[in-house]
Amino acid sequence: MTKPLERVHAHLAKLYATPPKDDAEAIATGRRLFYGSSLVEGLAPEEAPGVIVEAASIGGVPGEWLRPSAAGGSGRLLYIHGGGWVAGTAADYRHMTSWLAAESGFATLAVDYRLAPEAPFPAGLEDCLAAWRGLVRARTPGPLFVAGDSAGGNLALALALELKRLGERLPDAIATIGACTDLTASGESHRTRAEVDRNVTAAAVALYVRNYLPAGQDPTDPRVSPLFGDLSGLPPLLMHVGDFEVLLDDTLRFAAKAEAAGVQVTTKVWPESPHVAEWWHHILPEGRQSLHEIGRFFRTHV
């Protein structure tokens, strides 16, 4: 394992050494320390230079625009953040989204969708749908893309499936980072990676799911578990994931099923990498390279 990876894994082991006493404490602590988890040995990630940040409200959903000075085209990128559907904000993710905007050359809209448990499913998906429709209504020339990490990757894929079901415009391409695609946690990696994933443990996934899903909600509904949907007709996909993730199989199984359905899929597994290595792109070369490759992926689909 490289020294940067050792530093991040050690940071995560220390950060989550004391388990919370209950869900409420876990969520409150996660929200309070969300951005702070990026500070390895006190080193703060830097936002991309030349990217202008503006407050936004699209389709009634708040968020922020990240506009690169070196625009690569007139298209737009919708970014949906992670955080287990219970934590995270557009501002928390600015050190990632600014680099995605810079690497892709596209103005990037990071949305603040409603969070569980105060607003469980389908609130977050409804907000992503509203923001997407707002981008479509704007009729900006050029392509429209979607990207998301973890729970945001889940919402990105669920959004695409819901748009397909409704007969509405699909994204021109989608990129996911460590996406959660199966809320039944049936993938083998929930067990085979349990000892090495210090970021999003199997117990954490279970906590997120029970707070996100209302009572009686079927966890195999494609709107919450995109893996179980009809994946035919989806746009080109780029799916990045770390080998040290309990969610590894969520990406690999989804990618395999999408390919079997005729979807163009590019999958990359980063060796020994934690969940969403891109979060520590200031420490991990893998994280910075992933953001570069995602930006290049979108540029190739103009």
CATH number reported for the structural domain that contains residue 131 in this entry: 3.40.50.1820
Q: Of these residues, 38, 98, 104, 150, which one is catalytic? A: 150
State residue 72's pLDDT score: 61
Query: Tokens for 186?
Result: 């049936």
State residue 40's pLDDT score: 96
Amino acid 73: pLDDT: 66
Domain that includes residue 112, residue range: 3-299
Residue 17 has pLDDT above 90, yes or no: no
Neighbouring C-beta atoms of residue 33, cutoff 10 Å:
12
For residue 16, what pLDDT is reported?
87
- pLDDT interval class at 24 (50, 70, 90): very high
Phi, psi at residue 43, to the nearest 5°? -85, 120
Residue reference for tokens 């969940």: 275
Catalytic entry in 9, 81, 275, 281: 275
**295: number of Cβ within 10 Å:** 23
Catalytic annotation, pick one of 245, 278, 281, 286: 245
pLDDT at position 191 is 95
- At 219 the three-state DSSP class reads coil
**pTM passes above 0.85:** yes
Number of domains in the chain: 1
- How far from 300 is each of 19, 143, 236, 282, 293, CA to CA, in Å? 43, 11, 11, 25, 11
Task: Compute the CA torsion angle 122, 124, 125, 129 (nearest 10 deg).
Answer: 130
Query: Does the annotation mark 190 as catalytic?
Result: no
Are the C-beta atoms of residues 72 and 299 closer than 8 Å to each other?
yes
Q: Does position 154 have pLDDT exceeding 70, yes or no?
A: yes
For the cut 70, the answer to whether the pLDDT of residue 272 exceeds it is yes
The pLDDT tens digits of the residues spanning 274-294 come to 999 999 999 999 999 999 999
- Please give the share of the chain, as a percent, with pLDDT higher than 90: 92
As beta bridge partners, residue 175 has 147, 238
Query: pLDDT digit string (tens) for 31-64?
Result: 999 999 999 999 999 999 999 999 999 999 999 9
Is 273 a catalytic site residue? no
> What is residue 185's predicted lDDT score, i.e. its pLDDT?
96
pLDDT at 140: 85
Q: What is the mean pLDDT of residues 230-250?
A: 98
Q: How far apart are CA 27 and CA 32, in angstroms?
A: 9
Mean pLDDT of 195-221: 94
Residue 47 among the catalytic residues: no
Burial, 41: exposed, middle or buried (Cβ in 10 Å; 0-12, 13-18, 19+)?
Answer: exposed
